[in-house]
Homo-oligomer: A and B are copies of this chain.
Amino acid sequence: GKMTHDAKMTYRIGLLPGDGIGKDVITEARKVVETAASSFGFSVEWREFPYGAEHYLNTGEILPDEALEEMQQCCALLQGAIGDPRVPPGVLERGILLKTRFYFDQYVNLRPASTYPNVPTPLKRGEDMDIVVVRENTEDLYVGLGFLSNEEIEATVDMKRPSYTLKGALSLKVDPSMKFAAQLALATEMGVRRITRYACNLARRRKASEIVLATKSNAVKELYGLWEEIAKEETSKEGISLKLVNVDALCYQLARDPSGYGVILCPNLFGDIVSDLLAGLTGGLGLSPSANIGDGLSMFEPVHGSAPDIAGTGRANPLAAILSASLMLEHLTQVEASEAVKNAVLEYLRAFPRQRHPMELGGEATTSEVGDSVASIIQR
């Protein structure tokens, strides 16, 4: 995907605006990235992909493998939001979002949760938070090995992933004849090792010497026991100390006193929960970006949903998408551009009058005016 024209780097970025406000916020993220590109001397070529509810309802197609192969020609993907009340819940989430994460083996789901200037938090102790959840993104209950049956489950298990294949068989029977469901949660040595290593590197970049790992091995022994074992090995190799905490106690602590937390490493499902909780405890989903990072193609997306009720009205807050674009630029090693975008968001929230803030944050600015404001700061 990278090319140089006249000594100028060009990045081909795959855009998946998706549904509802996804389209609105992606327009602004794109605007801001283009501004950053011209300020920092690189250029961007956009390749738009139509997948989402509209495309599915019109064609029956969710996300074909050919599209995923085409995406390989991009340097990164930038997503808006997926989901529509006309489509049964889960179909697009699994068929687009999770499929992309798994296909490209995007094993890191990075979810920064920070407080922002002039953005209230629900907590009384409004101290600065600057936490990053490093969520494993390819294993756990998310592997999709679920089985539903009356009385008896007989299934073969077959899961091909870029880094390993799992094969097997499952046979389960419940003595009274009744429906039951069984779902396999998985953790592999490699899966835990690579995400722990990522968390250690991130801790070092943040000049931290410790990471916190959320597990639940007191109740779920083997799965989270493996997590603890491998994470201990890996952190000690990396010279980072590891603090183990049960996920329930962690959520309790984050609600009571989030100060002191930095890098929080989580298995997939706990990462989903803890990162949303932290989004709630900081600036909200309107300011929560995320990155799905792998050794191949990576994907960047705001954590918020498609909010179809306000789509196209100008009420959507594009800051989470813009902050996701900043994470993307960092990943593309355009570190200065990435920082300029992030600092522009901070400066905008710090210095622009409340009235010019997003409506979601109590201001009066439309989605596109917010994008313009952030872009104008980058251009200064």
Contacts and interface: CB of A to CB of B under 8 A. Distances in A.
A148 B222 contact: yes
Contacts of A190: 176, 178
A188 B183 contact: no
A146 interface: yes
A168 B168 contact: no
A159 to B, nearest CB: 9
Contact of A122 (B123, B186, B226, B249): B123
Contact of A176 (B98, B164, B256): B164
Contact of A167 (B172, B219, B247): B172
B280 A183 contact: no
Nearest to A152: B168
A329 interface: no
Given A174-B166, A252-B277, A269-B216, A182 B179 contact: no
Interface in A203-227: 216-223, 225-226
Interface residues of A, number: 77
A221 B181 CA distance: 10
A185 B185 contact: yes
A193 to B, nearest CB: 9
Given A165-B175, A181-B187, A223 B124 contact: no
Contacts of A174: 164-166, 188
A57 interface: no
Contacts of A4: none
B179 A189 contact: yes
Contacts of A165: 174-175
Contacts of A187: 180-181
A219 B273 CA distance: 12
A141 B185 CA distance: 9
A7 interface: no
A186 B182 contact: yes
A231 interface: no
17 contacts: A90-B221, A94-B218, A122-B124, A141-B216, A146-B222, A147-B222, A153-B168, A168-B173, A170-B171, A178-B189, A182-B184, A182-B185, A183-B186, A247-B273, A251-B280, A252-B279, A254-B280
Interface of A: 89-90, 93-94, 98, 120, 122-125, 141-142, 144, 146-148, 153, 157, 163-176, 178-190, 216-223, 225-226, 230, 247-249, 251-257, 269, 272-273, 275-277, 279-281, 284-285
